[in-house]
């Protein structure tokens, strides 16, 4: 078990920065998920930690040892990290047991001890008795478990996952999620888990690092990420947040402030120390929206009604900002039709902190 810290890490390919000035501290035994759109540099970040890529600048420490900085890099085989790849990367010319026992053989462990460890690892991932099979004769879920067992058998101090469930179907994914979670609880290993599936990240992780174009957009607990996004990218990326232009009318007081949005005034949550300003943005979720035929609110037109079983997702364009789209769910019986006039109310929201517009 070990702490992992990245300190202003940058990785450039030619003149393209795949990872840019990222600083993350992962505590001993923590489960960190890295989340972000495709191409944002997640895999590169992982490969930097594993030592397959060299940092352009910055420093990476595992435990108390510096493993990478611009001066040099500890070879991957000396880092004691385990890694599970999206495409499993099982060696086709070895049986399941040989795959799992590889690192023990490399470490020249006593044969009997190694055999016992392989048996234990197989049991840990519920694959008893499959040791003599070839990887080609396994299902996707079984292969992923072999890959997991292979990385666990060497008792690594840090385990890295690169979208381990991306190739599995929905049901298998749910059950593997449970297994990962149970495994983490049982062993207390430090884990860095890459995914582009928000639900997976939220379900598993202690904290989530959201990446965007190689930068770290926010590092926070799932709850904080959802309720208090630090910038517009995170706000719109997590759970399809709705961003609305706002003028801040009063300074922060007790975690709230007054804003004007689409011509109506309302009180939203905010970070301490926010001051009145124009051109701010608030983030609200579909659950924060309410149809209010005659109360306070703003008018607009229903653009689209998408029935989803048990209710509908409604896309709404406010009259005060016809280019904006707000969406919310309405349970059956759905009364709104596309083209209809409606009046909406925003129940609550979050003021995106100043100075972080992306």
3-class secondary structure per residue, 218-287? EEECHHHHHHCCCCHHHHHHHHHCEEEEEEECCCCECCEEEEEECCEEEEEECCCCCCCEEEEEEEECHH
Query: Looking up tokens 């519920």, which residue turns up?
Result: 126
Among candidates 15, 22, 18, 12, which has minimal Cα distance to 41? 18
276 binds, among other proteins, ligand ATP, Mg ion, none (CB under 5 to 8 A by kind): none
Alpha carbons 115 and 289: distance in angstroms, whole number: 59
Residues that bind Mg ion (CB under 5 A): 43
Q: How far is the CB of 53 from ligand ATP (least distance, A)?
A: 8
**Residue 64 binds ligand ATP (CB under 6 A):** no
Query: In the structure encoding, which two tokens stand for residue 35, read together?
Result: 């989340």
Q: How far is the CB of 69 from Mg ion (least distance, A)?
A: 24
Among 39, 129, 188, 322, binds ligand ATP (CB under 6 A): 39
Our CA angle for 357, 238, 351, nearest 5°, is 45
**Residue 42 binds ligand ATP (CB under 6 A):** yes
Alpha carbons 138 and 21: distance in angstroms, whole number: 41
18 binds, among Mg ion, other proteins, ligand ATP, none (CB under 5 to 8 A by kind): ligand ATP
**Residue 144 binds ligand ATP (CB under 6 A):** no
Chain-centre distance for alpha carbon 187: 22
Q: How far is the CB of 211 from ligand ATP (least distance, A)?
A: 7
Task: With residue 267 as reference, give the H or E element that holds it.
Answer: strand 264-269
Query: Looking up tokens 């690169």, which residue turns up?
Result: 162
Binding mask 181-210 for ligand ATP (x = CB under 6 A): ---------------x--------------
Among 24, 32, 43, 230, binds ligand ATP (CB under 6 A): 43
Query: In the structure encoding, which two tokens stand for residue 285, read together?
Result: 């979720």
Binding mask 2-31 for ligand ATP (x = CB under 6 A): -----------x----x-------------
Question: Which residues have C-beta within 8 Å of that of residue 292, sequence separation ≥ 6?
Answer: 343, 344, 345
Instruction: Identify which of residues 34 and 138 has a Cβ nearer to ligand ATP in the complex.
Output: 34
83 binds, among other proteins, ligand ATP, Mg ion, none (CB under 5 to 8 A by kind): other proteins
Q: How far is the CB of 109 from ligand ATP (least distance, A)?
A: 34
Which residue ranges make up the site for ligand ATP (CB under 6 A)? 13, 18, 36, 38-44, 196
């Amino acid at each position: 078990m070990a702490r992992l810290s990245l300190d202003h890490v940058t990785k450039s390919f030619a003149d393209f920065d795949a990872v840019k000035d990222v600083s993350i501290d992962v505590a001993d035994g923590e489960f960190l998920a890295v989340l972000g759109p495709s191409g944002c540099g997640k895999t590169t970040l992982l490969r930097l930690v594993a030592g397959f890529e060299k940092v352009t600048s910055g420093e990476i420490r595992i435990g108390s040892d510096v493993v990478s900085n611009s001066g040099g890099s500890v070879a991957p085989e000396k880092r004691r990290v385990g890694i599970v790849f999206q495409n499993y990367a099982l060696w086709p010319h070895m049986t399941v047991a040989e795959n799992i026992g590889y690192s023990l053989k490399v470490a020249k462990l006593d044969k009997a001890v190694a055999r016992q460890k392989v048996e234990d690892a197989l049991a840990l991932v519920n694959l008893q008795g499959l040791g003599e099979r070839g990887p080609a004769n396994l299902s996707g879920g079984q292969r992923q478990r072999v890959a997991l067992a292979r990385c666990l058998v060497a008792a690594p101090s840090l385990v890295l996952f690169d979208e381990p469930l991306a190739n599995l179907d929905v049901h298998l994914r749910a059950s593997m999620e449970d297994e990962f979670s149970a495994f983490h609880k049982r062993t207390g290993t430090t884990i860095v888990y890459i995914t582009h599936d928000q639900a997976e990240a939220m379900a598993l992780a202690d904290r989530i690092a959201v990446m965007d174009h190689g930068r770290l957009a926010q590092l926070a607990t799932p709850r904080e990420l959802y309720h208090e996004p630090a910038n517009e990218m995170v706000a719109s990326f997590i759970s399809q947040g709705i961003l609305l232009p706002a003028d801040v009318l009063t300074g922060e007081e007790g975690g709230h402030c007054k804003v004007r949005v689409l011509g109506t005034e309302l009180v939203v949550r905010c970070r301490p120390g926010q001051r009145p300003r124009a051109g701010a943005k608030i983030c609200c979720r579909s659950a924060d929206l309410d149809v209010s035929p005659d109360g306070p609110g703003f008018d607009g037109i229903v653009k689209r009604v998408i029935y989803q079983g048990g209710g509908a997702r409604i896309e709404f364009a406010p009259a005060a900002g016809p280019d904006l789209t707000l969406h919310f769910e309405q349970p059956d019986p759905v009364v709104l039709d596309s083209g209809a006039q409606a009046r909406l109310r925003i129940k609550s929201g979050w003021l995106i902190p100043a100075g972080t517009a992306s």
